[in-house]
Structure 1
Amino acid sequence: MRRNESHMILKKKLSLPVIIALIFTMLASGNVYAADSAAPSTGTPTDASTANPAVPALDTQGKFNALKEKKIFEGTDDSGKEDFSQEVTRAQLAKVLVRLNGLDEDKAASAVYRDLGDAAWAAGFIGAATKAGLMEGVAEGTFAPAGIVTTEQLASVLARVFKLQAAESEVAKVTGTVSEWAKGYVAEAMSAGLMTSALDYTLPAKRELLVNTAYAAYQLIQAGGPPVTKVSVADFKATGAKTLVVKLNGVIADTSKLTVSILRGSITGAAVTGAQKWNTNKNEVTITLDTKMTEGIYTVKLDAVKDGGLSIDKGSAEVSVGNEKITQIDFTTPSDTIAQGMVKFTFKALNQYKEISDLSAAIFSIYTSPGLDFVPAGDSQSVVVDTVYGSQLRKDQPFEIRIVAPDYTVQANKTFTVGDLQTVGKVELSDVVYVNGKTKFEPGDTVTVPYKAFDQYGYAVIDLDVLKKNANTFTNAAGVIDTAAAYPPQGFGFIPDENGDGLPELKAKAVGNFNIYSVQDVQLSVTAFGSSQTATKVLKVAAPKTPFDISIGNFPNTVAVGDDDFYLPVVVKDQGGNLLSTDDVIENADKINVYGYGNGSISVGAKDAAGNFLGGIEKSGAYKGTIRISNLKTLTDQNKGQLTVKASVVTSGKTATATTNVVSKRYPRTVYLSAQMKPKMLPSLDMVNGRSENAFRLKFKDQYGEDFDRDYRGYAMKLTFAKTSGTVTDAVYVLRGATRLDRASSTFIVNGVDATVEGYDSGSSVSDFGYYRDRDFFFTAIPGDDNEGTYQVTAQLYKGDRTTVAAGTASLMSSAIATTQLIKGREANNLTYTLTPFANGIYAVDKIKDTLKGAETNTISTVSSSVTSSVYSTEGYSLENYFSGKVVLTAKDASGNVVQLPNNAIQSLASVTSANTRASAIVIKPKADGQTANFQDGYGIRGKEAGTTSISVIFKPSHYAGSKVAFLDKIDIKDDPLTVSSFTATYNGKAKVMALSQLKAGVTIFSGNSVDTAAKKLLLKQTFSNITLMDQYGNNAFKNSSIFRFAPVFGIQAFVSNVKWSSDNIVPGSGYIAIEFNGTGVNSLNGKTNAVTPVPAGVEPTDWVFASVPNADPAKDPAIQLKRGDAKYIYTPAISAVDGSPVEIASFTATVITANGKTISVDVYPDPSK
């Protein structure tokens, strides 16, 4: 359709092989990248495997210069002008083609044309091009030398030469003016990167285009040509005893999309294994087999990976090979004269592939004359001869060694002469090999120093006695090398072979501890007595894990009178600049002095559990390794001012300081909206389940602009409700817990209390700041479609108490206003409604239905009964609903403002329908923490089987508007295996202090702190706090207990590590600390369910399971129960090995992991005083 030959500038007599030869000559004659690059002597295309490496891209001028230097292009005048804007004529093209092809001008051959009068300068080029069949006339006797070459004609040449192909989708992308016959050619050239888009391809080609296109084509050739998608074996051959090379018909874009297999025998033969290595151009792969090939046929087989974009044409080939055969043996000895001693003679045996065979000397037949004692190597081509043993040889005596191939087809022999007694003439040292991948020499290490020792005739010295007697090992290592060691001698020397290679080892051994005053890099030296030559190598010595340098971390943004204690981090480094771990810092805490000055009322340094000052670095607890700053709570504003903290390293004298200003006590300065309400809302449908509730929150900042929740005494907040416009006064009211603001009760004054007092319960009193800070307020509309108006709550922060605020004598500090507009019910008709799409699809949960369903029955008969069920049989369906996609309906007005809908806008289960009941079902989606959602807030699409579905949702935004419908099409239901995309916890990676009493009580790992209101005491339970897991679908968040109910699905495991007790002297095996969870109806650790006990009505026997810690009375049930989804710390103290008393735990690390490697952890420090 598009291959109209009448439009081509090269006529039909120009064969494809000639075109290819032409272009390869044009684009590959020499290296056109740079002038100083070596150029091939001929125009033969460079093999891809030896192509010059790519260099930075050139601009058009650079490309022209490179081609000009090769005499391919030249300027348009005597000055060499580029004239990139000049159009390319047929005569000019003929000249370039002849130059590219390396032809001589042939003016006589141009005599066939009668129209060359004005192009006499080109007659010789036109004649040569015509004679070579590169070009021909446009008609008999007519060449048309002034004829212009168009852009699309140039594209057609490139497409034909490179056999380019373009998908129909690529052809469709070609825009601009282009002849129908040329559209495909242009698409192909553009897809291959040889040409860029243009507005009009029928226009004449300019010299600039020809230069850039030629250069791009050259680069493509260097890369092996354009990628092919239809793959064939072009060549298959053996290049070594274990090596096969497969060459493809072209380059492939991605080698991972093609499987290359080697078979012994024909295509049905057995597969053989080996390592594959692709060349840079990705058109040739070398396979090194695990074992040598044996005589017979080997077959290569190509297979395209499914959906990888490749197809196979000629997908197999055979090669016939023979057994490896030695064809040549050569001695590789350094001299014809050998020393009197143990001498290692080396040789190389080449096989039929001209590669050195890996056959060892032990396979060959070896003879000596006279007959001597020798040992052929089993791992190399060498033989060791003892020229001294038995006194068979004397100085100047000749002897012969003959080596014969295993099949006796070839041999090599050589005569040697005995010289002087062997000595060490030269030693070479290589880089030190440190222990276990280390990069430096550490206390107690023994390192290897690779070496080569040669005798006076150049042979390797392999005799330990000769090395010891004729080479001296020494160091400059004071305090580093263990000079008292016997092995190696004096800490550095030659020792017998340890790795089985038959050669003595050279090793160095470190002392047990380094001293910071003596640590330095060590020079290892070996002197050869035969030449007095010395070889040296530097041994990098690690600085000791002792403090040398110190720096102090940043203070908090603000330090104020009355603040809690805080801890400054320190960074400690050794002499080598390496960071010391926290444990290293603690071990060396006595070497670090800490003190503060500038404010004597503030305590700088560690304290014990009773609050007594100890000074220095904190040595225990969650903040060990830091500097404690305390007593701020006892200060008054008279104590404000500068505070400087200084830390110094005693042994090095290095110091660090950090300074801050202690400012006045914090007070609440600003009230602000921390969560915004929606600007508009509709009336409620009813006041039971159909309320329209519009939420906002309040928080406070101190005078320094930081969030505040401390001592509110002396301050109060006035909440005022008002209707600012509208016809119905009581259409909206505001609720915060038990506090209601409406027309009748339009104001409420909040009293200031000290929120820092131990045991303060922020949610217990409606008159306290804590009851309102960061908690939901709700604008609540009453039913009434004609109701409208604007309503607001003003929060005013005053300096003063409730009495002065009520009296109007308090000072106003700050105000925050929450405003919403109630719109009439009829306005629901003017809103836009959308359903939130499921961007990643919904999981087809039927795939794991059996896992979630669990055992059909759980029969428990004794305390020790063990049940191996999965999750709970009666809650399986409920668990499936966790994976449903929640239906979220959003309303917006014409300006894009989100409008609050009534809670039961989606009125009933029947209102949501699925177009594919096999793929999905309508359910109520539980909340992330496992609580049952309300109908109005919980509709979800549960995926059942893979496929697609659509939903329609009937909802009622107002009584006036009646029912409406929203649609969501093409929802993907996928059965891709579940993975965890995110796994987080509030205090992941942090250190937390918890009360030892709470640890013993068995609190959950996601507990928050609580308050004992009777004892006015804060109960420290918090470690991880809120744990949240999200799968890859993005619809399914699991929180706290919900995560452990799905432990089998996500591969959840929890464990405790890094356990430290308050005493190391404990009875082995005593003490217990673990995280146990009830994720399957069976304890995660002990595999037990609950015993037969009285169970409340409606409670399943598997609602809870036993922990591993028993009561003191073994007849009773375990003390701690794990309810569904519970994950608790289970603990008993250890026992002292001294007096049998309890030994409490000092610290541990709690970790939870998923099957795909997501991890959360927290370091826990139980406080025995809490």
Structure 2
Amino acid sequence: MRQTSNLYSKQNSKETKHYIGGDKKVMKKSLSLLVAAAMTLSTASVAFAADGATTTELSTQAKFDALKAAGVFSGFPDGSAGLDKEMTRAEFAKVLTKLSELAENSAANVYSDVAKTHWAAGFIGAASEAGLLNGLGAGKFGPSGKVTIEQIAKVADLVAGVEPSDKEVTGKVSAWAKGFVAAAIEAGLLPELPSYQVNATRGQLVDVAYDLAQPVEKDLKAVEAKQSGAKKVTVKFNREAVAAEKTALTYELKSGLTTYPVTATFAADNKSVDLAVAYLPAGDYTVTVKGSDAINVKVEDEAAKKVDIAVTALQQVADQDLGVKVYNQFGEEMSGVNTQISSYNVTKTKQLTPGNQLDLNVGGADEAAINDVISVTAIVPSAGLSVNKQLKVINGSAATSIKLDQVQPIAGDARISVKDGYVLPLTLVDAAGQKVVLPNGDIDLTGAAGPKSVTYAGLVFYVSDNTIVEKFTVTDGVIKFETKKAGTVFVTVTNGAAAASAQTSIVVNDAAKVKTFELGNSGKLIVKGEKAVLPFTAVDTFGAAIAAKDAVLTNVKFNAFGSEIVPVKNAKGELEFNFGQTGPTTIYVYVDGVLQTKSVSINVADVAVYKAVQKVDVATTLEVDAQVTLNQDNILLVDNYGRTSNVAADKFTVTSGKTSVVDYVGGKLVAKAEGTAEITVSSTANAGITDKKFTVTVVKNSAITSYAVDTIDTLFGSTTAADTVGYEKAVALVGKTAGGTTVALKSTAPDFVTSSDESVLKVAADGTTVVGQKAGKSTVAAYLNGSKVAEREVTVATDAKVVKTVEFDKDEYTTTVGADITPAAKVTVKDQYGVVLTTSVGKILVSDPSIATVTGGAVKGIKVGSTTITYVASNGTTDSAVLVVNP
């Protein structure tokens, strides 16, 4: 048992523990070591623990001796400790200063009743400046006044980092001190006493000071648990948890006999942990944390408690989001809540189209003009909530901040040259911090050559030379322009109403012209009748390398097999040759009629033919009733040169040697019954192609001994639900046999999944789909029949969606003179997250406009011949195909 002063031992015989908050060491290490060293010189009593181990407990006198040796306490002139004497406020200031290792600070002593020469002036100043002690008012400190036990409790809690407690106190205590006394008792800094309003003795302060001086931690315990979110319970601890304790902790959340899997996330101060649950119905729960008693928690259903309109102004743009948000009783934004939104033009006394997307991009300002007041009302009928805001329609004249960044070359370019597609990086912000978006339209700067200014949407746009930049085009807030000739142009954007302005300069270079040209060899097989891409390097008249896609080859000629050959330069900058003869030849290059120093020797092989079905990429072990896709995308053919490519969609057959086990129906292998079946894949592209045979094994569910989460590529993350539409990922399972063989399952969906960090990766309402929220990593755990069966770490990125790949569905298209073909409809454009982009992100180019032209995305044949069509995405990513125009 811990020994205390006589007063303590009379009132409390039970064992108490001490606790230091914050970093759990109020004293610096040097003072703790000094106290420990002094303890060896003191008299200690020996007690025996329940398990028979010996523990050393110090008497109050021994604690005094240790603290005296550490310089915290001083004895009386007669050598006594005076443990039964009362403590003055001046003495208390010294003890607190020493305990906290504060430097004496007489300058901070501002009390009129404490002389600068007073022995405790430095201690009183230091303790007061640190906020450990306060004055009595009227500039007085009362250095000779006494200190009560409840005053000690408050200061001890402050020094130890202990929060006030709402636990009951049985002894006599002032209302203001109840929480501090309860916390001190709970932390083991004070025993239970009949009264805490009495003056404290030196012995009582010695016991408290000694506990505060020790770097010993009390056992970590869960002391409170309550619902803190629609799917979250927060557990509070009696102190900060260290790393090892956080790792060792386990959690159980139960309602009746049902256990709910949780994902634990500690608060920044490590004094509480959030337990996130995929599904949390209302009811009575118990939370059990390892090493702590179970705590009861009442869970209520999520309810709408607040509706708000986020925007502060409206603009003349299309589909602007009014930012209507609904919040639950925990301050969390809710989704899927039915809201009724109406907008009314107060200025024009006109009802606007209801809904969260308001379209004010009307040329004649029929819907709303600048400075019109729009009354927007949002109602949540089910909760009886409503909000109304009067929003003013603004334009550029509302911008109090204008920023123009430097115009950058187009991706892949070394400099700005004469071409289109440049972006003017203009940022406008109003007084409320809201971004101002300009309406769609053209800012036409044409007219008499020279400087020109135009007012648009309340702003003045000025260019120093309108023969270089003739027009800016605003589309969905992005301002684009093209350069017409070389030179330097200054652009200024001004808002006279707010005295805001910004300027930038643009240096435009001449288009590069080829001076020297060197053709390279691709190192790949060149086959008659097939497109052969050869690399090249070109240098302009200024000695600078010309980017392949920018090289204009009108002054470059090529000769092979004794005659001129004309390659096609696609939008990637590649030269595509097509040879109609076989055998060795040399390609000679001429620039402006001058033979270049290097030529390229090649050998053109004979026409390729397919020889065999080389590979069929499909699962070969299936669960009974499972189905797997087997189509042209799974089948690879190999030609006489060892090259592979996918079979055409209508040029293959699939047969099963035992349809009772595995059948091929509707482009899928269907597992019928346990057993094995030989599958034969044949190509009908041309005669003599060797078939591919392989065995498919069908197993029962009982043969599956484990599961794994199927691969999940990097997901796009955004807290705006609209941004993640199409970027969700349904978690799928694959099975594993005892031997580790992967099994395609009848159903790949788990019962539900959890995420280790829902701030990074959120589980959708269906329980099996995950949605990215912010950049980071989170572990997805999949559950079947109430048990976790597999998990996988998932990476979420928030990089803006950009085009990553562009692919035509064919290498060659045919049309006739006067007929249209719409290759854009045959192009698959994907971003870096592997998701198909359905909106227009590029345009079609034709390498020879005399063969075909492009109008509105459709390519029309003009005359008989062949040319290259290239789809160019907004970031320069391309793919090309050959277009043959027949009569």
TM-score normalised to structure 2 length: 0.30
TM-score normalised to structure 1 length: 0.24
Which structure shows the bigger proportion of residues in strand conformation? 2
Which structure shows the bigger proportion of residues in helix conformation? 1
Q: Which has the larger radius of gyration?
A: 1
